[in-house]
């Protein structure tokens, strides 16, 4: 099994792993604005392509003293790793999908989302634009009503942070002219909110005929598998049709198997309802293709034009 050179190891750590971890830790608008300007995800995808072309298709071991770290570059290997979670591939701390919150029961999610979307639509019609700040305030009210009840609607202190990613997906989906569940899934494919999936093997495992020891740390950089132009003709465009056919084992915006985000269905339902409710009354100019590798949702300000049926 190939072991990367020290130079390639440094390149992967500096271009792929460390910036991604930093972006996950420092989630403010300033950090993401810098990442967008540098198109850090595009750079990371290019680094992964070079790694795959030089060492693949088996997992590439990084030259790190005292640790066994393997970067996956083959989509079939990603499918195997995620399907065999948590045994023998256990999630590493920090790799699940954000902060987990208890899922609500018997909540009329669609009614809540449409109620808040109506108010947001009126606001966008009056201002002529939909900004992230306005959207985020609305999404916070949606989250509080779903998870904490209607009485918590205006209590900013009670917003469940684990639901934030669904709001980000929705705003980005609006920016590409997406609709429905497939549109939300495409937003998550193009700009995954969990770009690093990390696993540790609990036993020795074999890959492409070669052995990797117990306690090997496996790294999956999802933007590479979602947007590899060498493998995917739709890498940098909006392609909702792909979700109606057979699924690629490495396109996993919400994870897969036992490691799949437990709030996936709720997030998709709320996000797609908000997306469709706004699009029934407003139209927004879509980003031109090829779509950027990094998209700063904090900086989005979408011109809004009234269309379709009027708000009642």
**SS3 assignment, position 9:** helix
The DSSP code for 16 is: I
Place of tokens 């009126």: 122
The widest CA-to-CA distance across the chain, in whole angstroms, is: 65
Structure tokens at 172: 């980005």
Task: Note the pLDDT of residue 162.
Answer: 78
- Report d(CA 221, CA 15) in Å as an integer: 11
Q: Categorize the per-residue pLDDT at 309 as very low, low, confident or very high, splitting at 50, 70 and 90.
A: low
In the chain, at which residue ranges do the beta strands (DSSP E only) sit? Answer: 60-61, 69-71, 89-91, 129-131, 196-201, 205-207, 210-212, 217-221, 282-283, 301-303, 305-306
The DSSP code for 58 is: S
Task: Please provide the DSSP assignment of 165-229 as one string.
Answer: HHHHHHHHHHHTT--HHHHHHHHHHHS-S--EEEEEESS-EEETTEEE-TTPEEEEEHHHHHS-T
- Report d(CA 238, CA 290) in Å as an integer: 9
Task: Note the pLDDT of residue 25.
Answer: 72
| Mean pLDDT confidence for 66-85 | 96
Q: Categorize the per-residue pLDDT at 100 as very low, low, confident or very high, splitting at 50, 70 and 90.
A: low
Q: Is the pTM of this model over 0.85?
A: yes
Provide, rounded to the nearest whole percent, the portion of the chain with pLDDT above 70. 94
Helix (H) or strand (E) run with residue 132 in it: helix 132-148
Angle between helices 164-175 and 180-190 (to 10 degrees): 100
At 26-57, the pLDDT tens digits run 678 888 999 999 999 999 999 999 999 999 99
| Mean pLDDT confidence for 137-144 | 96
Structure tokens at 99: 């902060």
The DSSP code for 3 is: B
> In sequence order, what are the residues at sequence separation of 6 or more whose Cβ sits closer than 8 angstroms to the Cβ of residue 259?
82, 85, 86, 91, 95, 96, 197, 199
């Amino acid at each position: 099994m190939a072991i990367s050179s020290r130079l390639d190891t440094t390149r992967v750590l500096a271009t792929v792993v460390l910036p991604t971890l930093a972006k996950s830790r420092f989630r403010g608008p300033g950090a993401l604005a810098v990442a967008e300007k540098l198109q850090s995800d595009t750079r990371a995808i290019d680094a992964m392509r070079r790694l795959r072309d030089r060492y693949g298709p088996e997992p590439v071991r990084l030259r790190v003293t005292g640790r066994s770290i393997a970067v996956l570059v083959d989509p079939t290997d990603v499918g195997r790793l995620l399907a065999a979670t948590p045994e023998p591939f256990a999630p590493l701390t920090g790799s699940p999908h954000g902060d987990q919150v208890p899922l609500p029961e018997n909540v009329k999610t669609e009614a809540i989302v449409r109620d808040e979307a109506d108010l947001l639509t009126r606001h966008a019609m009056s201002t002529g634009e939909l900004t992230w700040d306005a959207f985020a305030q609305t999404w916070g009210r949606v989250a509080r009503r779903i998870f904490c009840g209607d009485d918590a609607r205006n209590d900013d202190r009670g917003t469940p942070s684990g639901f934030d990613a669904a709001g980000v997906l929705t705003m980005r989906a609006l920016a590409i002219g997406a609709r429905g569940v497939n549109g939300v899934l495409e937003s998550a494919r193009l700009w995954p909110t969990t770009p690093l999936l990390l696993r540790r093997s609990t036993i020795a495992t074999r890959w492409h005929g070669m052995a990797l020891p117990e306690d090997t740390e496996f790294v999956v950089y999802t933007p590479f598998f979602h947007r590899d132009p060498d493998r995917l003709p739709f890498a940098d465009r909006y392609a909702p049709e792909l979700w109606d056919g057979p699924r690629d084992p490495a396109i996993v915006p919400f994870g897969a198997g036992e490691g799949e985000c437990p709030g996936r269905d709720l997030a998709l339902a709320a996000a797609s309802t908000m997306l469709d409710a706004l699009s029934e009354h407003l139209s927004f100019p879509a980003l031109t293709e090829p779509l950027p590798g990094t998209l700063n949702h904090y900086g989005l300000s979408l011109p809004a034009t009234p269309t379709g049926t009027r708000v009642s």
